[in-house]
Amino acid sequence: MKSVKLAGLLVTALFVLSACAELQQFVEQSGIGGGELPLSEAEVVSGLKDALEVGAARAAGTASAQGGYLDNQLLFIAFPQEARRVENTLRDLGFGGLVDDFVTTLNRSAEEAARSAAPVFRQAVQQMTIQDGFEILRGPDNAATEYFRRTTTAELHNLFRPVIAQALDNTLATRYWNDIVQQYNRIPFVQPVITDLTAYTTQRATDGLFLLLEQEEKAIRQDPVKRTTDILRRVFGHSSLQAAS
């Protein structure tokens, strides 16, 4: 008889514990009693916009710093690919210093242009819809960056090109490029090289910014330390990622 009672008590205890676990889960999901409150659509979009603005500001700050492109192997802007034969030939002929000066000023120009990147990205953030927000939140670690690539690349190029052109002029990169091409094109029997230096630098500078933005996005998604505001911590730390109706 005692063993029967003991078994009954054990079953009852297990039932109670199971019920408590289910109740706790319900409390946490519903937000009753101080559990994690469901996220509203406004909170999700606000959190994503905060994350993207924070990431964009960091990316722009990194790129525009001294050596942001020049000293970063991932962002470094090398001699235009179609003109590598120009670089090699000029170095062989003793014009290595001219080539080095050109590459340095090319990267410095990108660093200067990157100073205007944050407002451009910020404007793009404001165009994000609620549907975009949830797709980005539930997407891969670079979903937001790919969203920007898909929707704003053409506009960013149009905005960046005059800035890049002015920066190249200010840092004398255009003059160096013209000198290099003229030196090369004087060589007998070579095929003349014509490269749109502004377009090339604009593309490379934009690609570099997207790369940095992608790194920042992944960090915010994966590293709690990078979530520097309450809304970032709520959105990216939330267990369900479901909006309240």
Euclidean distance between CA atoms 105 and 79, whole angstroms: 11
Return the pLDDT at 71: 96
The closest of 111, 128, 212 to 170, measured between CA atoms, is: 111
58 within 8 A of 216, measured Cβ to Cβ: yes
Under 8 Å between Cβ of 217 and 141:
yes
pLDDT digits (tens, 9 = 90+) for 49-97: 877 887 888 888 999 999 999 999 999 999 888 788 888 888 898 888 8
Burial class (CB in 10 A: 0-12, 13-18, 19+), 61: middle
- Whole-number pLDDT of residue 65: 95
More confident site: 32 or 234: 234
- Would you call 111 helix, strand, or coil by DSSP? helix
**How would residue 1 be classed by pLDDT, with cut points 50, 70 and 90?**
low
Residue 183: both structure tokens together: 């030196």
Share of the chain above pLDDT 90, in %: 13
- Could you give the CA distance from residue 104 to residue 77 in angstroms, rounded to a whole number? 9
Q: What is the pLDDT of residues 136-173, one digit of tens each?
A: 878 888 888 998 888 778 777 887 788 888 888 877 77
Are the beta carbons of 221 and 141 closer than 8 angstroms?
yes
For the question of whether the overall pTM of this predicted structure is more than 0.95, the answer is no
Average pLDDT over residues 3-32: 35
pLDDT confidence of residue 242: 39
